[in-house]
Amino acid sequence: MPQIVILPHPEHCPEGVVVEAQKGETIIEAALRNGIEIEHACEMSCACTTCHVVVREGFPSLDPSDELEDDMLDKAWGLEPESRLSCQAKVGEVDLVVEIPRYTINQVSERH
């Protein structure tokens, strides 16, 4: 069973965490099932960027993003080449290391 290492994040998991994932489930499904509350304002329908993550290790093992996800990612805060929407990125056979960005567009607009 693949694992997802979620790097420390001040709000979601200050110490970081390692969660077991099931092949074929999305990164956010594995995180939520393990108590990591990644924001998902559109209810995981690929209609926002609040579940944006950066896959630090294992990125090549993910299926490529589709055009809709790419269009959404273009609007994400802190976009990087290894950025994915965690509601769209399905876990394969390879362990992943994932960073949850400090801000999302939703959080930035609500707090500033």
Q: Which residues contact 26 (CB under 8 A, 6 or more apart)?
A: 44, 86, 87, 88, 89, 90, 91
CATH of the domain at 81: 3.10.20.30
The parent domain of residue 29 ranges over 3-111
In whole angstroms, give the CA distance from residue 98 to residue 83: 10
CA angle, residues 80, 84, 89, in degrees to nearest 5: 155
Tokens of 56: 């630090």
**9 has pLDDT over 50:** yes
| Per-residue model confidence as pLDDT tens digits over 15-33 | 999 999 999 999 999 999 9
Count of the separate structural domains present in the chain: 1
Secondary structure (3-state) at 4: strand
Q: Which residues contact 24 (CB under 8 A, 6 or more apart)?
A: 90, 91
- Position 14 confidence tier, pLDDT thresholds 50, 70, 90: very high
**95 has pLDDT over 70:** yes
